[in-house]
Amino acid sequence: MTNRNDIEQLFKAHYAQMRRLAAALLHDDDLARDIVHDVFASLLDSPLDITVTGGYLIKAVRNRCLNHIRDCEIHQRIANRYFIDHEEYDSEDWPDEETIARIYNLIDSEISPQARHIMELRFSEKLPFSHIAASIGISETAVYRHLSHALTTIRKKLNENG
């Protein structure tokens, strides 16, 4: 069983090593510190009676770092895929009120209800892919595919209509 005092001792014994690993994976000291603190916060919030070792902590940090990297890569792929066709637009001209209205109409008429829900969670709620996937009960890849298909459909319909 791991109690608050055990976690404090684990923190003192393994914090530096965990932070170094996170910093090496993420190349960002502040983010590394946040991830290590999140690992310990999750231990404090965990109702499970588990035995925590230094190896467990290192794996937890590694996994959280890899999840963060994956989320950033997925987000970047979607952003790149959407914005690559829109480089010719001047930021002052795009998007205007009429275009925004057309996008909302396309979302309502051309996008499936599940994809609309995913778009809302991602762009309005700003949830990461992992949270969206968990809340809907689908894989992160399926979340990516729904968003990609929805954005491609919107982009295609906008280009068709000028």
- The Cα–Cα gap between 58 and 139 comes to 26
Show Cβ contacts of residue 86 under 8 Å, excluding neighbours closer than 6 positions.
94, 155
Q: What is the pLDDT of residue 73?
A: 75
50 phi and psi angles, rounded to 5 deg: -125, 155
Q: What is the pLDDT of residue 59?
A: 92
CB atoms within 10 A of CB 108: 9
Q: What is the pLDDT of residue 28?
A: 85
- The Cα–Cα gap between 3 and 9 comes to 10
28 phi and psi angles, rounded to 5 deg: -155, 110
Q: What is the pLDDT of residue 127?
A: 86
Q: What is the pLDDT of residue 89?
A: 45
Q: By the 8 A CB rule, do 4 and 45 touch?
A: no
Residue pLDDT tens, the chain, 162 long: 456 777 788 888 888 999 999 889 888 888 889 998 888 888 777 766 677 788 888 999 999 988 888 887 777 766 666 655 545 444 555 567 777 788 888 888 989 999 999 988 888 888 888 889 899 999 888 888 898 888 888 888 888 876
